[in-house]
Amino acid sequence: MGRMVSKELDGLKITGFSVAGEESVVAVPELNVCFDIGRAPREVIPIDNVCLSHGHMDHAAGIAYYLSQRAFIGNSPGRIIVDRDLAQPIQKLMDIWGDIEGHPSPGQIYGVTHLEDVPIRRGLLVRAFRVNHSACALGFTLIERRHKLKAEHHGKSGPELVALKQQDVEIEETIERPIVTYTGDTAPGRFLDLDFVRDSQVVLLECTFFEREHRVRARAGRHVHVDDLPEMLSALPGARIVLTHLSRRTDLRTAKQALEKILDPGDLDRVSFLMERPARRGYRRRDEPPEPGNSTGTAPHTAPAP
């Protein structure tokens, strides 16, 4: 408990925890959506909708606990929005847990495909899109949708507008405003060409590898390497970028130094890390000077604070 961190971007509160290979869960509480479930920390249990990017354990381990806890505390059944090919295996998992616990945990496993929309509430939907990771990996964008009177009908009276509608004339146009995009785990891919991704206000973007010698590992695992960021950010010109999935092998100071070397000042100003934790003491590259007040640089190890 207490591992979740929170930050506010343009009036939008985001809370979560994301460490590569360990746990990833990111929530937007005011929009009633959680991206991935991690180990189901208590802070996300009240959220009704979980958009599951893929089935890897660090992103999906808490599914059964999330649905079970909602039933235990009397919440309505939760909904897991996931790639259609994963929906049946997850339902099997829930059936097995029902056998183990002696009773089923109610919940909806909602399978979707690329570019499919799912209503969250009136005027808000989530749109799934294919990303470049595992076979069933998806990203998600939360989109505000509203209807607006077309410009050519401005000034018309109510009866005139009713008459037009009775003649099957479209008097309104649909306006979409992408709010938050979550890519899950992914290497760069064609999803960056999607307008609703490019126009998002905030993009939660995985970046796992920062060491130059790990570029091959990033490609093999279909993850983002820091060297990919300049091109990816050019495809997201107006978005606030929040980097997730940082590995424990890379402390925050090292990651920030890597960003400073490859990003121009304008892009650097709009990038932040979800896990703004201090650098780990006792972990120092050979080319780094010792910490102030410590001539050997061998301070005792302390775990990174979330």
| DSSP per residue, the chain | ----EEEEETTEEEEEEEETTTEEEEEEGGGTEEE--TT--GGGTT-SEEE-----HHHHTTHHHHHHHHHHTTPPPEEEEEEHHHHHHHHHHHHHHHHHHTSPPPEEEEEE-TT-EEEEETTEEEEEEE-BSSTT-EEEEEEEEEEEE-GGGTT--HHHHHHHHHTT---EEEEEEEEEEE--S-BS-GGGG-HHHHT-SEEEEE--B-SGGGHHHHHHHT--BGGGHHHHHHTSTT-EEEEE-B-TTS-HHHHHHHHHHHS-HHHHHTEEES--PPPPTT---TTSPPPTT-SS--PPP-PPP-
Residues 62-80: what's their mean pLDDT?
96
Mean pLDDT of the chain: 88
Hey, what CATH class is 7-273 in? alpha beta
The per-residue pLDDT for 255 is 94
Is pLDDT above 50 for 287? no
pLDDT one-digit tens code per residue, 256-277 = 999 999 999 999 999 999 998 5
pLDDT one-digit tens code per residue, 242-251 = 999 999 889 8
The per-residue pLDDT for 296 is 34
Domain locations in the chain? Answer: 7-273
pLDDT one-digit tens code per residue, 143-195 = 999 877 778 878 878 887 788 788 887 877 889 999 999 999 999 999 999 99
Is pLDDT above 80 for 294? no
> Among 57-66, 70-79, 279-288, which stretch is predicted with the lowest mean pLDDT?
279-288
pLDDT one-digit tens code per residue, 21-34 = 999 999 999 999 99
